[in-house]
């Protein structure tokens, strides 16, 4: 990857229906694990649940670039997630796209 290229960050936020968190997380973890394992352009895919609101789930995804994210959109594991999650959520917030400027693992 060229040094001038910035990692492409995706933030997705969901509000899960009461009683559906375990099923939602199972789908989310399948997508996250498969993304990191099977997509060379996926650097990280974290699934986090709010401590103060356990129905709020956030995905933090890092890709080499927009093209790597676009490739993610065509994967079978994302298709499984897309097929299963609508019945489990109360709300899906608009996805946010960012360019990461510094990783916590990189020296300043």
- Measure CA 21 to chain center: 16
The Cα diameter of the chain in Å comes to 45
- E strands of the chain, at which residues? 8-16, 42-49, 56-63, 89-92, 96-99
Q: What is the pLDDT of residue 100?
A: 86
Confidence band for 3, pLDDT divided at 50, 70 and 90:
very low
Q: What is the CATH number of domain 8-97?
A: 3.30.70.100
CB burial of residue 72 (10 Å; 0-12, 13-18, 19+): buried
How do strand 89-92 and strand 8-16 relate by DSSP bridges?
Answer: antiparallel
**What are the pLDDT digits (tens) for 35-94?**
999 999 999 999 999 999 999 999 999 999 999 999 999 999 999 999 999 999 999 999
**pLDDT of res. 1:** 40
């Amino acid at each position: 990857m060229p040094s001038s290229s910035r990692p492409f960050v995706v933030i997705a936020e969901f509000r899960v229906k009461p009683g559906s968190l375990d099923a939602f997380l199972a789908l989310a973890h399948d997508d996250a694990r498969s993304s990191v394992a099977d997509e060379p352009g996926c650097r990280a895919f974290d699934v986090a649940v709010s401590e103060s609101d356990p129905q709020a789930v956030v995905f933090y995804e890092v890709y080499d670039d927009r093209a790597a994210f676009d490739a993610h959109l065509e994967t079978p594991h994302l298709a499984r997630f897309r097929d299963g999650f609508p019945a489990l959520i109360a709300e899906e917030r608009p996805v946010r796209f960012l360019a990461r400027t510094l990783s916590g693992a990189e020296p300043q």
